[in-house]
Amino acid sequence: MADGRDLIYFDDTEAYVSGERTRRLDDPRPLPARFEPRIDADGVEQPPLGPEMRLDPLTGDWIPMASHRMNRTFLPAADACPLCPARPADSGTDYSDGEVPDTDYDVVVFENRFPALMQLPGVGLEDGWAVDGEDLWQARPAAGRCEVVCFSSDHTGSFGGLTPRRVRTIIEAWADRTTELSALPGIEQVFCFENRGKEIGVTLPHPHGQIYAFPFVTPRTQAMLRQAAAYRDRTGGHLLRDVLDAERRAGTRVVLETEHWTAYVPAAARWPVEVHLAPNRDVLDLPGLTEVEREDLALAYLELLRRLDRFFVEPEEAGGAPIPLPYIAGWHQAVVGEGRELGRLHLQVISVLRAPGKLKYLAGVESGMASWISDTTPERIAARLQEVAL
Q: Name the residue nearer to Zn ion (CB basis): 8 or 204.
A: 204
Among 7, 53, 84, 350, the residue binding Zn ion under the rule CB under 5 A is 84
Q: How far is the CB of 204 from Zn ion (least distance, A)?
A: 7
Q: Is 162 in the site for Zn ion (CB under 5 A)?
A: no
With contact defined as beta carbons under 8 Å apart, do 271 and 381 qualify?
no
Contact residue for Zn ion among 21, 155, 220, 226 (CB under 5 A): 155
Using the rule CB under 5 A, is 157 a contact of Zn ion?
A: no
For position 81 contacting Zn ion by CB under 5 A, the verdict is yes
In whole angstroms, the minimum distance from the beta carbon of 205 to Zn ion comes to 7
Write down the least CB distance from residue 107 to Zn ion, Å: 14
* CB closer to Zn ion, 34 vs 206: 206
Binding-site residues, in ranges, read: 81, 84, 155, 206
User: CB of 141 within 8 A of CB of 127?
Assistant: yes
Which of 208, 238, 276, 332 is flagged as catalytic? 208
Report the C-alpha gap between 356 and 313 in whole angstroms: 7
Is residue 83 close enough to count as binding Zn ion by CB under 5 A? Answer: yes
Q: Does 103 bind Zn ion (CB under 5 A)?
A: no
DSSP per residue over 254-322, as a string? EEEE-SSEEEE--TT--SSEEEEEEESS--SSGGG--HHHHHHHHHHHHHHHHHHTTSSB--GGGT--B
Question: What is the DSSP code string of 105-130?
Answer: -SEEEEE-SS-SS-PPTT--TT--EE
State which residue has the least CB distance to Zn ion.
Answer: 81
Annotated catalytic residue 332: no
Per the annotation, binding residues for Zn(2+) are: 81, 84, 155, 206
CA 10, 13, 18, 21 torsion-angle sign: negative
Q: How many helices (H) and strands (E) does the chain have?
A: 6, 18
- In the shown chain, the binding pattern of residues 252 to 281 toward Zn ion, with x for contact by CB under 5 A and - for none, equals ------------------------------
CA 10 to chain centre: 17
Q: How far is the CB of 270 from Zn ion (least distance, A)?
A: 33
- Print the binding letters for residues 189-208 with Zn ion: x by CB under 5 A, - otherwise: -----------------x--
> What DSSP letter does each residue of 2-53 carry, written as one string?
TTS--EEEE--STTTTTTSS---------PPPTTPPEE-TTS-EEPPP--EE
For the annotated catalytic residues, the residue numbers are 208
Which spans of this chain sit near Zn ion (rule: CB under 5 A)? 81, 83-84, 155, 206
